[in-house]
A = this chain, B = another copy of it.
Amino acid sequence: MNDQPAKPVWVGFDLGGTKMMAVVFDDQLKILGRKRRKTRSANDRQVTLERLFETIDMAIEDADVTPDRVAGIGAGCPGPLDLQKGLILEAPNLGWKNVALKDQLEKRFKCPATICNDVDGGVFGEYSAGVAKGQRSVLGVFPGTGIGGGFVYEGQIFRGTRASCMEVGYLQLATEGGSAGVGPVGTLEGLASRLAISAEAAKAAYRGQAPRLFELAGTDLSKIRSSVLARAIEKGDTAIEAIVRRAAEQTGWGIGCLINILAPDMVVLGGGLVEALPKLYLESVREGIKRNVLPSLADVHKLRVAELGDLATAIGAAALIKQQLNSRS
């Protein structure tokens, strides 16, 4: 940036199932450069790792800083992790098992690194630089193919024993519904994930109850994405609106329970469906929360939509490595 003694920069990395993204930040978490690529898993794990490293290299180049200014790297990763050892225990999309990502990053880039769950990273991002800045405790809920959750408590990512937690998709809300035959039925994820919504929507399309959706995407789950659902509702498919409202309300049932458990200052909702239908979704979540929240806790939380979109995890991961290094010094 300038010729004075180089200030540190931080790298946040988001390792998704379909895309990966590296972002370089200055000390105030302002973005200096970035690179986004398809994830593309290879049979050889080293090839995939190399692609990951290159993406970071490209982001550093884009930021126009020298690699030696990178003070730390944080990486948000899917799947079960061993946070203490910095291991990805399993990442089915990448075909990875027991990959020591933290060590690999430290060896390659010669700076401290850390890993975190990608949803935790996203919530920590919103806490560090987004809608939840400065809140004492923040619960994040992100509906997608599943429903992810993360929690920041007194400035720290909340952590379970040896493992990440806040698996809000696995709250049991009913004894029927969803995932029949292939998992516990009646979970929040089984009832109300984007995938569950898409399946109900496909049924409605098949039965002739959702003509607009049928025109837009037929009856194929893979084509019934959040944006398609939003368009079908806009064009008048009331059945699709009812289906989304129902699922959002059920998400509210789950959030109501979590408020009773955690009593957070703020609940942040994010993900594609929330972004595509923020008003409808929030209204219905709010309605659903009422079913379950205790009167004494009904007004202690704020409900907000996430602000940082796709960047949340990268920001959070960078903020995390920065926090860890600061607390050590």
| A contacts, CB < 8 Å to B | 80, 89, 92, 136-137, 145, 149, 153, 158-168, 170-182, 184-187, 191, 195-196, 199-200, 202-209, 218-222, 239, 241-247, 253-254, 256-258, 260-265, 291-292, 294, 296-297, 300-301
Distance A241 CA – B180 CA, assembled complex (angstroms): 11
Residues of B within 8 Å of A178, CB to CB, are: 177
Given A176-B176, A199-B199, A199-B200: A165 and B247 interface contact (C-beta under 8 Å)? no
Residues of B within 8 Å of A242, CB to CB, are: 180-182
Within the complex, what minimum Cβ distance (angstroms) separates A222 from chain B? Answer: 5
Residues of B within 8 Å of A291, CB to CB, are: 172, 184
Question: Is A206 a contact of B182 with CB atoms below 8 Å?
Answer: no
Question: Is B260 a contact of A167 with CB atoms below 8 Å?
Answer: yes
User: Number of copies of this chain in the oligomer?
Assistant: 4
Residues of B within 8 Å of A176, CB to CB, are: 173-177, 186, 191
Question: Is A200 a contact of B180 with CB atoms below 8 Å?
Answer: yes
- Complex A-B: 27 CB contacts under 8 Å: A89-B296, A136-B161, A137-B161, A160-B262, A160-B263, A165-B262, A165-B263, A165-B297, A166-B261, A170-B257, A170-B294, A172-B254, A172-B256, A172-B291, A173-B173, A173-B174, A173-B175, A174-B177, A175-B175, A175-B176, A179-B203, A181-B245, A181-B246, A181-B247, A196-B203, A218-B222, A219-B220
Distance A218 CA – B291 CA, assembled complex (angstroms): 30
Question: Is B180 a contact of A292 with CB atoms below 8 Å?
Answer: no
Distance A153 CA – B296 CA, assembled complex (angstroms): 23
Distance A291 CA – B256 CA, assembled complex (angstroms): 22
Question: Is B199 a contact of A92 with CB atoms below 8 Å?
Answer: no
Question: Is B296 a contact of A264 with CB atoms below 8 Å?
Answer: no
Distance A279 CA – B222 CA, assembled complex (angstroms): 32
Distance A196 CA – B200 CA, assembled complex (angstroms): 9
Distance A175 CA – B257 CA, assembled complex (angstroms): 13
Distance A161 CA – B296 CA, assembled complex (angstroms): 11
Within the complex, what minimum Cβ distance (angstroms) separates A47 from chain B? Answer: 22
